[in-house]
Amino acid sequence: MALLEVKNLAVSFVTRNGVNKAVDDISFTVESGKITAIIGESGSGKSVACYSMLGLVPTPPGRIDGGQALFDGNDLLQLSESELREIRGRDIAMIFQDPMTCLNPYMKIGDQLIEPLVYHRKVSRADARQRAIELLDEVGIRDPQTTIDNYPHEFSGGMRQRVMIAMALINEPRLLIADEPTTALDVTIQAQILQLIANLQKKRDIGVIFISHDLAVVADIADQMVVMQTGKIVETGDREAIFENARHPYTQKLLSAIPSGSKVSSDAVPEPLIRVENLCTWFEPGGNKPVVKAVNDVSFEINRGEVLGLVGESGSGKSTIGRSILRLVPVTSGHIDFDGTDLTSLAGAELKRMRRRMQMIFQDPFASLNPRMTVFDTLAEPLLLHGIETRKSVSQGVLKLMDDVGLARAFVRKYPHEFSGGQRQRIAIGRALATRPEFVVADEPVSALDVTIQAQILELMAELGREYGLTMLFVSHDLAVVKHIADRILVLYHGELVEQGSGEELFNNPREEYTRSLLEAIPGRGLLD
Amino acid sequence: MWRFIGSRLLQAIPVILAVITVTFFLVRLAPGGPFDSEKAVMPEVKAALEAQYRLDLPIMQQYTAYLGDLAQGELGPSFKYPGRSVNELIAAGLPVTAELGFYALLVAVIIGGIAGVFASLKPNTAQDYLPMSAAMIGICMPSFLLGPLLVLVFGIYLDWLPVSGWGDIPGDKILPAITLGSGYAAYIARLSRAGMLEVMSQDYIRTARAKGLPEWQVVTRHALRGGLIPVVAFLGPAFAGLLAGSFVVETIFQIPGLGRFYVQAAFNRDYTMILGTTVFLSTLIVLFNLLSDILAAWMNPRLRAQFGSR
Amino acid sequence: MGVETIVDVSMAEEGTSLWKDAWRRLRKNRMALFGLVVLSTFIVIALLTPWIAPYAYDAQDLDLGATPPSAQNWLGTDIFGRDLMTQIMYGGRISLAVGFVATAVALLIGVTWGAIAGYVGGKVDAVMMRMVDILYALPFMIFIVLLMVVFGRNMLLLFLAIGAVEWLTMARIMRGQVQSLRQQEFVEAAISIGLSPATIIRRHMIPNALGPVIVYTTLTIPSVMLLEAFLSFLGLGIQPPQTSWGLLISYGAETMEEFPWLLIFPGLALTLTLFSLNFLGDGLRDALDVRGSGD
């Protein structure tokens, strides 16, 4: 018998603007001893489906319209709140996306860990503490005897997620629901946490629901897969069936959105456009804290017409390098030579003239557009400032840009909040191209987007790069994406350059230990070939 | 933590010194000497009086002498009550005001806190609207209006409670405490509601629910602490406000406290009394601010760790 | 003309700006609308008082004395036989003027101070905000009483003194806004386009920092009016022959046993105004989606 059997579950949200069917008549089963992955992009209803079974969707605005969720033959949807509470945290446990916010910052982790045990099993606090220490040890927390009395802020993100996992497992539940548990983590940490979840699941032989937006993440660990789109299940099957024989077009689209292959470099004679020499960008946090050496003695060149990938985990200084070149942060020392001009010494009108030649595309399309300016105002601003268009001709220029980035002209007087993430990123790209720059820094331009949108934006950028003859510095934490778009790749670690080379060279013959560990951490490596 | 307390104490010293200096010179700047109004004071008498109060010295010497007195806890003689020192007057008024303030704070924290937390548990329902409407009335009904109205209704029309005095008739402390405390109860209710709503929307509350804890444990164990930090941080400013409010409430209910002395001193131009009381009250307020800051920081483990030893 | 062939942008469908959106939300908030209507009415009455007041400000009728509300005197008369409604109308002029002028003073100083500190940053910011911190720790209520005692009861001084207290929070809010805006990517984008700092502040920062400032301004006015009423009640604020709601309440409180309307009507006027401003402020806070603004 299946551990969990969901039949015709339907959940909707009642808002002022009408009823939104978040989960629309879905059925699936979860077997004991298997990992079932639920895959879908934002708004697919994957999380709502799981939360609603446990009574964790606030009602109102949520509303369960019908269906069954049989766990042990009991319909979870029919249980009273107190009966459901008996199951939550005891038989079914959860871990969540952001370990930074999911632990109570005001309580020692030990006190939080033993709560489910003390509450559900009436174990004494001393025994519970002993059990908690054992479990912390099992999930890989160093020195659990003492760290059990620490507060959450004393742990890193990955460690906090381990604590969350220990907390979920402390009552030995039979079903674990993991909601995007690695999305907020660096790749190498992600790989460790995925491994940990898989190991613990095997050892305990429990059922796991693994919710994710990213097919690649679950490629190595999922047994069963459920693909959701806008509240409906479009396809289910075991891993092989999905990855090798996807039938539904949406699943195929998701699969093809995984960036693969590497760019074939043009064989133009390399001629450096930008030369970075011994760049140091340090920050003084103030107080008695030590100086943060965000970028430390980094030298490299970017050739004309080239896409240079810059890869590293959080804190590696990759974004700071891009911002240093564009003079958005003060450079501590070193030189940046742009086509014969030393950027670090420019100021005033000279700097303004150079700014026209280099632009930036930012990570978060929700933050990079002024919410109080229309598309027209946003795109017209650089055109007018640099005298590229006159007041008379500016609307032509704006419409041309919108055509280039694939935005319907009818949207020209709309505001950013009226667009989706992908559309906003198109506006931001349009703004960066408005000055007809030679060089563009793209700082994680697709990492805030859904996977299928990611593929579209990457394609757009590659296309526009050719059309405008751009030289690009592409900053990303995602090696697969970078390999797909970049001619050459630099690997950064703690503000210093570790290794550089073409995508093929790095992937096939990494010379440095750190590069190797990054490569091994790429989720679903087998899919890349 | 000790480093934090130490650094805050060090910051408080210049503030207190600034208060003393500004008050001293403001009072000295005041047009008209204290003995000008009394006519027919013989010049010799006036000179003697001025010598007694050190008014004949250059102002900087007066200032340093005053600082010297303060260092010994000496606030000087009163102009208007010859033979009595400011210390004595404060000592007479302080216990009354402190008691009144304590009851008012109790009213504010208990009623306000409970109403706010209660309202936050079921937002946008009657359980929220009722206490919050009451809080809105409390905020818009200043003590100098509420006091007379309470006296009118409960003291005169219904004749349930005494309308003036302090500790003379049983029950005469009820109306002043409510009058002084209600505005702050209203403010604390709004503050704690907002704080609780903010905390209840945090991810770690969802974690606590996912553990299967009953709702009351989610609230008491996980939400209350974070939700009430703003309230604790507000206690300092609230204390300052209560002291100022006691000026009015003590006047309305004819309570022989520090506030009434202060207002009377203000009208009598009893400069040493004004000076002494201002310095005293200000120091008290600065120290109380410090206390509530420290308490709020101590409740937050992150801040606590930031300032060294745990 | 089809969508794709738009040549003149004015033909495109107009978007909904955040301001329009906020106004739509505010219109749905009945209490905030009520506040807006009451407040506007009071302001209009205050502006027109000299022409519409039923009696002259200084008209008194000692033989009449205090009378309860009647057809001749809608809100009754005081012990000098003066029409209470006239008194309240003239008092309202002063109370509202203090509220608005002192808030304007606070707004001007606070916004400038906070914006400079937030934009310049670094050591300048540290010093400027340190000063605000120190001033914050001062017991201002007592200081204002002291000022009023020492320098006499001067209206101009009252404006300045109250404004000087209230600007502190405004400065903190503005600085917080500017600081967080400085780190926003759209401001970085504006820098990388090459816009001058003045243009960035004017076009990209001020419009986005305005929301919290508007909300806090609306909520500062009632607290300023309260302060004025408080001082006037103690006899340290507005002085006769001028009058204000606080002063009227203080007179009313003295004689409330025999003539309760003298307390109730001025009290009602003040409370109603404070209600309106607070409801409007809360409504604006929701409509503009301003969170945790300093207090």
Q: In terms of Cα–Cα distance, which of A322, A320, A298, A326 is closest to A309?
A: A322
Interface test with B, best of C31, C131, C143, C234 (most B CBs within 10 A): C234
Return the SS3 of A477: coil
Residue A9: is its pLDDT beyond 60?
yes
Across the interface, do A103 and B207 touch by the CB < 8 Å criterion? yes
- Considering only CA atoms, which of B273, B247, B249 is closest in space to residue B260? B247
Q: What are the two backbone dihedrals, phi and then psi, of residue A20, each rounded to the nearest 5 degrees?
A: -110, 115
Q: Is the sign of the CA dihedral A474, A475, A481, A484 positive or negative?
A: positive
Tens-digit pLDDT profile for residues A57-93: 887 788 888 898 999 888 999 988 889 999 998 999 9
Q: What local confidence, expressed as pLDDT, does residue C5 receive?
A: 58
Search chain A and give the residue with CA nearest C14.
A413
What's the one-letter identity of residue A465? G
Instruction: Tell me what pLDDT residue A526 has.
Output: 67
Q: Could you say which of C229, C233, C278 has the minimum Cβ distance to residue B139?
A: C278
Contact criterion met (CB < 8 Å) for B266 and C147: no
3-state secondary structure of C286: helix
Confidence of residue B115 (pLDDT cuts 50, 70, 90): very high
Instruction: Give the span between the Cα atoms of B300 and C282, in whole angstroms.
Output: 28
**What's the pLDDT at B92?**
86
For B247-274, the pLDDT digits (tens) are 889 988 888 888 888 888 877 777 788 8
pLDDT tens digits along A226-279: 999 999 999 999 988 888 888 899 999 888 888 777 776 666 678 889 999 999
What's the CA dihedral at C2, C4, C10, C14 to 10 degrees?
90
Q: Which range has the worst mean pLDDT, B5-19, B23-37, B138-152?
A: B23-37
CA distance A274 to chain C (A): 17
Q: Report chain A's C-alpha Rg in angstroms.
A: 25
User: What residues have CB less than 8 Å from B133, skipping those under 6 apart?
Assistant: none
User: Are C145 and B140 a contacting pair at CB < 8 A?
Assistant: no
The answer to whether residues B286 and B18 touch, using CB atoms and an 8 Å cutoff, is no
Q: Residue B61 has which token pair? A: 């010497």
Backbone angles phi, psi at A93, to 5 degrees: -120, 165
Both tokens assigned to B127: 């359980």
Average pLDDT, chain B: 83
Angular region, A339: left φ>0, alpha ψ -120 to 50, beta rest: left
Centre a 10 Å sphere on the Cβ of residue C135 and count the other Cβ atoms it contains.
16
Q: B202 CB near a chain A CB, below 8 Å?
A: yes
Say if the Cβ atoms of B222 and A107 lie within 8 Å: yes
Cβ atoms B213, B221 nearer than 8 A? yes
User: What are the b/e assignments for A393-427, b being 16+ CB within 10 Å?
Assistant: ebbebbbebbebbbbebebbbbbbebbebbbbbbb
Nearest CB to B144 within list C138, C139, C230: C230
Per-residue confidence at A528, pLDDT binned at 50, 70, 90? low
Judging contacts by C-beta atoms under 8 Å, the chain C residues touching residue A408 are 3-4
Quickly count: other Cβ atoms within 10 Å of residue B125's Cβ: 10
Contact list, C17 vs chain A (CB under 8 Å): 372, 374, 415
- List subunits contacting chain A, requiring 3 or more Cβ pairs under 8 Å: B, C
CA distances A392 to A60, A495, C3, C9, Å, are 52, 47, 21, 12
Q: Is C40 on the interface with A (CB under 8 A)?
A: no
Q: Could you give the percent of chain A with pLDDT greater than 70?
A: 97
Mean pLDDT of chain A: 89
A319 touches chain C (CB under 8 A): no
For residue B290, CA distances in Å to B191, B286, B287, C182 come to 20, 6, 5, 31
CA distance C196 to chain A (A): 9
- Long-range contacts made by residues B58-66, C-beta under 8 angstroms, separation at least 24? B59/B25, B59/B28, B62/B28, B63/B21, B63/B24, B63/B25, B66/B20, B66/B24, B66/B275
Residue B231 C-alpha from the chain's centroid: 15
Record: contact C19-A372, CB cut-off 8 A: yes
Q: Which amino acid is at A205?
A: D
Output the pLDDT for position A200: 92
Query: Which chains are within 8 Å of B by 3+ CB pairs?
Result: A, C
Query: Do B26 and C138 count as a contact with CB atoms less than 8 A apart?
Result: no
pLDDT higher than 70, residue B195 = yes
Size of interface A-B (CB pairs under 8 A): 75
Residues A399, A404, A405, A411: what is their CA dihedral angle, to the nearest 10 degrees?
Answer: 20
CB neighbours of residue A251 within 10 Å: 23
Q: At residue B63, does pLDDT exceed 70? A: yes
B167 CB near a chain A CB, below 8 Å? no
Higher per-residue confidence, C215 vs B309: C215
Contact A87, A69 (CB under 8 A): no
The gap between the terminal CA atoms of chain C, to the nearest Å, is 53
Contacts of C185 in chain A (CB under 8 A): 362-364, 367-368
Q: Which residue of C has its CA nearest to B290?
A: C137
For residue A364, the distance in angstroms to the closest alpha carbon of chain C comes to: 8
Of B202, B210, B302, the CB nearest to A56: B210
CA pair distance A119, A123, nearest whole angstrom: 8
Give me the residues of A, 430-449, that contact C with CB < 8 A.
431-432, 435
Residues of chain A with C-beta less than 8 angstroms from the C-beta of B217 = 119
Spell out the residues 6+ positions from residue A287 whose beta carbon is closer than 8 angstroms to its own: none
pLDDT tier at B308 (50, 70, 90 boundaries)?
very low
| Test mutation, A351, A409, A414, chain C, max C CBs within 10 A | A409
Nearest to A418 among C5, C9, C16 (CB): C16
Give the pLDDT confidence score for residue A311 in this predicted structure: 93
C195 and A381: CB-CB below 8 Å? yes
pLDDT of residue C295: 36
CB-based contact B15 C134, cutoff 8 Å? yes
Query: Band of the pLDDT at A224, cuts 50, 70, 90?
Result: very high
Angle between helices C206-234 and C140-151 in degrees, nearest 10: 60
C219 touches chain B (CB under 8 A): no
**With contacts defined as CB-CB under 8 Å, which chain A residues touch B300?**
105-106
Per-residue model confidence as pLDDT tens for chain C (295 residues): 344 456 666 667 788 888 888 888 888 888 889 999 999 999 999 999 889 888 888 878 777 777 888 878 788 888 888 888 888 999 999 899 989 988 998 999 999 899 888 888 888 888 888 888 777 777 777 777 777 777 776 778 777 778 878 888 889 888 888 888 888 899 999 999 999 888 998 889 888 888 888 888 888 899 889 888 888 888 888 888 888 898 899 888 888 888 888 888 999 999 999 999 998 988 888 888 775 433 3
Q: Which residues of A touch C6 (CB under 8 A)?
A: 399, 409-410, 412
B209 interface with A at CB cutoff 8 Å: yes
Residue A475 predicted with pLDDT over 90? yes
Residue in A with minimal Cα distance to C7: A396
**A363 interfaces chain C, CB cutoff of 8 Å:** yes
Q: What is the pLDDT of residue C294?
A: 36
DSSP for residue A150? S
Of A351, A355, A398, the CB nearest to C9: A398
**Which residues in A388-438 belong to E strands, given as ranges?**
none
Contacts of C14 in chain A (CB under 8 A): 413
Chain CA centroid to CA C45, Å: 17
The model carries a pTM of 0.84
Q: What is the ipTM of this complex?
A: 0.83
List Cβ neighbours of A96 (8 Å cut-off, separation of 6 or more). Answer: A102, A164, A179, A180, A181, B203, B206, B207, B210
Contact B209 A88 (CB under 8 A): yes
pLDDT in tens, A385-416: 998 998 889 999 999 999 999 999 889 989 99
Largest CA distance in chain B: 85
Say if residues A361 and A442 touch (Cβ distance below 8 Å). yes
Strand partners, C277: none
Eight-class DSSP state of C5: G
Cα separation, A169 vs A180, in Å, equals 17
Q: Is the pLDDT at B31 greater than 70, yes or no?
A: no
- Quote the minimal CA–CA distance from A153 to chain B in Å: 7
Asked if residue A313 lies in contact with residue A325, where contact means CB atoms within 8 angstroms, the answer is no
One-letter-per-residue 3-state SS of A91-144:
CEEEECCCHHHHCCCCCCHHHHHHHHHHHHHCCCHHHHHHHHHHHHHHCCCCCH
Which residue of chain C has the CA closest to A284? C122
Task: Give the list of residues 6+ apart from residue B65 with CB closer than 8 angstroms, or none.
Answer: B54, B57
pLDDT at B33: 56
Asked if pLDDT for residue A192 goes beyond 70, the answer is yes
Instruction: Pick the residue of A114, A115, A170 with the most B CBs within 10 A to test the interface with B by mutation.
Output: A115
Using H for helix, E for strand and C for coil, what is the string for A279-295? Answer: EEEEECCCCCCCCEEEE
B251 CA to chain A: closest CA distance, Å?
44
**Residue B308, min C-alpha distance to chain C (Å):** 22
> What are the φ/ψ torsions at residue C2 (nearest 5 degrees)?
-75, 160
CA distance B266 to chain C (A): 6
C260/B contact by beta carbon, under 8 A: yes
**C8 touching chain A per CB within 8 A:** yes
